[in-house]
């Protein structure tokens, strides 16, 4: 299967954008793809919009950053504006559903888009901390190149030590992944 996928993710520090990028590239690498992930980073240790650039391909990845993403994820008010430069005509914009007005204002009506009520799901059905895992699930579902098992293994590598202390946490993460995955599949 020939694949060349570029995803930019942006959110506030603490929203877990970098973890999502790390897990998805790690899972892609373990599944035999070429993968490259680079965080943006500046002089501030905290604050500022956190952006992650992810590329997954059947061929070796060229430049670490890219001009236009196939998928661009915006998870905060500031992120919606920040990622504008990576959004092209064909880009699928994935965003937290609560940011509908911001998205409409910056991108108008025409942009390909997928609103994910991740905040509401996390708060009402699960736990605020799995907000980013729902987004991860959406990306896995909507791209379709990874098996859920690949992602679960990557989650285990990342959070295994925490899961070992609190098995409920594993169940919670898997449930969030599943929920996001279903939303993604519906929009594949």
Which residues of this chain interact with other proteins, rule CB under 8 A? 22, 25-26, 29-30, 34-43, 60-68
Q: Work out how close the CB of 37 gets to other proteins at its nearest, in angstroms, rounded to a whole number.
A: 5
Kindly tell me the burial class for residue 117, based on how many C-beta atoms sit within 10 Å of its own C-beta (0-12, 13-18, 19 or more): middle
Phi, psi of 132 (to 5 degrees): -75, -25
Cβ at position 39, least distance to other proteins in Å:
6
Cβ 40 to other proteins, closest distance in Å? 7
* Nearest CB to other proteins, comparing residues 25 and 76: 25
Of 24 and 142, the one with the shorter C-beta distance to other proteins is 24
Write down the least CB distance from residue 29 to other proteins, Å: 4
Contact 177, 118 (CB under 8 A): no
- 31 or 114: CB nearest other proteins: 31
What interhelical angle do 17-30 and 148-165 show, nearest 10?
120
Residue 74 forms beta bridges with which residues? 10, 95
């Amino acid at each position: 299967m020939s694949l060349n996928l570029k995803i930019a993710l942006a959110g506030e520090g603490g929203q877990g954008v970098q973890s999502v990028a790390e897990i998805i590239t790690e899972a892609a690498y373990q599944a035999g793809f070429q993968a490259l992930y680079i965080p943006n980073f500046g002089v501030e240790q905290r604050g500022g919009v956190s952006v992650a650039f992810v590329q997954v391909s059947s061929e070796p990845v060229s430049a670490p950053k890219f001009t236009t993403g196939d998928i661009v994820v915006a998870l905060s008010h500031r992120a919606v504006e920040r990622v504008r430069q990576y959004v092209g005509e064909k880009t699928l914009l994935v965003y937290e559903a609560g940011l509908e007005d911001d998205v409409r204002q910056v991108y108008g009506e025409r942009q390909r888009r997928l609103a994910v009520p991740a905040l509401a799901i996390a708060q009402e059905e699960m736990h605020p901390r799995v907000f980013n895992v729902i987004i991860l699930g959406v990306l896995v579902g909507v791209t379709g190149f990874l098996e859920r098992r690949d992602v679960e293994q990557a989650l285990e590598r990342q959070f295994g030590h925490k899961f070992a202390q609190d098995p409920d946490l594993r169940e919670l993460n898997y449930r969030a992944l599943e929920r996001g995955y279903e939303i993604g599949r519906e929009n594949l």
